[in-house]
Structure 1
Amino acid sequence: MSRPTKHAPERGDARNRLLEAARDIVRKQGFAATTVDDLCKAAGVTKGAFFHHFKSKDALGVAAANFWTDTTGAFFEGAPYHAPSDPFDRVLAYIAFRRAMITNDIPEFTCLVGTLVQEVHATAPEIRDAAGVSIFGHAETLEADIAAAIEVRGISPDGWTPQSLSRHFQTVIQGGFILAKAGNDPELARDALDHLDRYVRCLFGVHAVAYSGDPR
């Protein structure tokens, strides 16, 4: 048996490769259709390496959801929609940024945790909960800007809160992904974001305009 210290870096790299493989393959073909063999082949590791890091496919699913949370959290934290000084402009810039992320490659722009939770919400509660932490956690990152926009614009929300609106953003985004998959057409997801932009402008009493890519 080789000494653990000698191969520790390789094992760590294998774990990340498996998580990256899960991120890509599950978005293409779903969790149920993704096999351990698929993941090992894509990651270039053996089954022994897989089961060294993950006791089961479900354990990999939980870890993949957490990996998605960590990597996308860092990505969105550094995204340019935080730049505008006006909080309402930041809210619109977020929507524009999410729209700009939609490419013609549907698996590339859709959400791993959204895909996971749609499949396993009733059958794999640990994966469902990890995916929920990711989705609700991302929604929470928008609440401060929405609250600040309410204050700056001097509006009085009627039956909605920063939390409920931030979660509605995720409802529209995830729903747009589903429509894009159902119609095999990314434009359906773009349309959903355009409607969200108009809806938010109406909520804040701002004239809704045809989408131009300008968040102001």
Structure 2
Amino acid sequence: MGQPNVRERLVEASLDVFQSLGFNGSSVQDLTDAAGVPKGSFYNHFAGKEDLALAALALYIERSGVEVLRDKRLQPIERLKRHFRTNWKTAKDRGYKAGCYLGTMSSEIADTHEKSREAFLGVFRAWTGLIAEAIGEAQAKGDIAQAGDPALLARFVLNAWQGTLVRMKVVRSEEPLKDFNTLVFDVLLK
């Protein structure tokens, strides 16, 4: 496989730039410098920063560990635990300085960039659906005593996860993860 092309380099670099500087705090120059490409090449590949942010979102999702939620070889609760553990490890490896790209970008631009808001909504819905499917399977098997609506439980779990990532950035430790695991897996989904 050859060297990444200019577009791929911009998308890859933008994940770090957007998470470090934010969407509004980063310039096209910041993005092209991080990618090691000429500034003029940016507009050959993207109409603007929002288009790049959405391309980066697609890459982020590809790397997010959602495939474990689909792995039917694993028990449903184990799929959920592994998924969140993988996402926690990513946050830990980054020194707890970056949470979820989706959550970070959503909180910054969902109210000002409608195209992005719609994309974020679609991703959150798909992610919630995978979590709900695992919860529903666990309920059907009797692994979870909770008889609540799997979709509602999944939304709550995902909302709690987003809050966990924000807190990990602040306390820079795994304490919020421990709280999340205790309440989600030892109380809510027990």
- TM-score, structure 1 as length reference: 0.73
| Match status 1:185 vs 2:172 | yes
SS of equivalent to 2:92: coil
**Which residue pairs with 2:33 in the alignment?**
41
Q: Which amino acid aligns with 1:20?
A: E
1:101 Cα deviation after fit: 4.4
Which piece of structure 1 moves more, 143-152 or 98-107? Answer: 98-107
| Match status 1:162 vs 2:150 | yes
CA RMSD of aligned residues (A): 2.8
The 1:63–1:95 alpha-carbon spacing in structure 2 relative to 1, beyond 3 Å, is closer
What pairs up with 1:1-216 in 2 under 5 angstroms? Answer: 13-72=5-64, 75-77=65-67, 83-84=73-74, 86-103=75-92, 105-108=95-98, 110-153=99-142, 157-158=146-147, 160-181=148-169, 183-194=170-181, 195-202=183-190
* Larger-Rg structure: 1
Which piece of structure 1 moves more, 63-72 or 137-146? Answer: 63-72
Q: Which amino acid aligns with 2:53?
A: G
Number of aligned residue pairs = 187
Structure 1 unpaired stretches of 5+: 1-8, 203-216
Q: Which amino acid aligns with 1:120?
A: I
> Which string of whole-angstrom CA distances, capped at 9 and with x for unpartnered residues, describes residues 155-198 of structure 1?
6755x3111222222111110111122x2423343234223222
1:16 Cα deviation after fit: 1.0
CA distance in 2, matches of 1:96, 1:21: 24
Structure 2 unpaired stretches of 5+: none
The 1:50–1:33 alpha-carbon spacing in structure 2 relative to 1, beyond 3 Å, is same
Q: Which amino acid aligns with 2:40?
A: G
CA distance in 2, matches of 1:199, 1:98: 21
Q: Which amino acid aligns with 2:128?
A: A
**Which residue pairs with 1:213 in the alignment?**
none
CA distance in 2, matches of 1:134, 1:80: 16
1:54 Cα deviation after fit: 0.7
Which piece of structure 1 moves more, 40-49 or 87-96? Answer: 87-96
